Amino acid sequence: MVKNVLATSLGIVSQFTIAILGIICLGALPGLFNGLKLNFSQYFITIKELLINLSEPSKLTYSYGNRLLFPEILIRYQETFIVFILSFFFSILLAIIIVYFLMGVKERTLNTFKSIFLFLESIPDILLIVSMQFFIVWLYKKTNILFVNIAAAGDEKVRALPILALSIPTTIMFIKLLLLRFQTEFEKNYILLAKSKGLGKFKLFYNHVLRNVLLSLFFFTKTSIWFMLSNLYIIEYFFNSIGILIFVKDYNTIEVFTVSLLLIYLPIFIYLQIFKMVTPKLIKEVV
Q: Which residue has the higher pLDDT, 96 or 195?
A: 96
Q: Which residue has the higher pLDDT, 95 or 1?
A: 95
Q: pLDDT digits over 62-85, tens only?
A: 877 688 999 899 999 999 999 999
Average pLDDT over residues 179-198: 75
Amino acid in the structure at residue 91: S
Q: pLDDT digits over 119-175, tens only?
A: 888 888 888 888 888 998 899 888 988 888 888 877 778 889 999 999 999 999 899
pLDDT for residue 286: 47
With pLDDT > 90 as the criterion, what percentage of the chain qualifies?
Answer: 35
Cβ neighbors of 271 (< 8 A, separation 6 or more) are: 225
The closest alpha carbon to 183, from 104, 118, 115, 113, belongs to: 104
Residue 88 pLDDT > 80: yes
With pLDDT > 70 as the criterion, what percentage of the chain qualifies?
Answer: 90
Helix (H, G, I), strand (E, B) or coil at 67: strand
Residue 247's CB is within 10 A of a number of other CB atoms, namely: 23
Residue 108 pLDDT > 60: yes
| Complete domains list, the chain, with CATH | 2-55 (no CATH), 72-282 (1.10.3720.10)
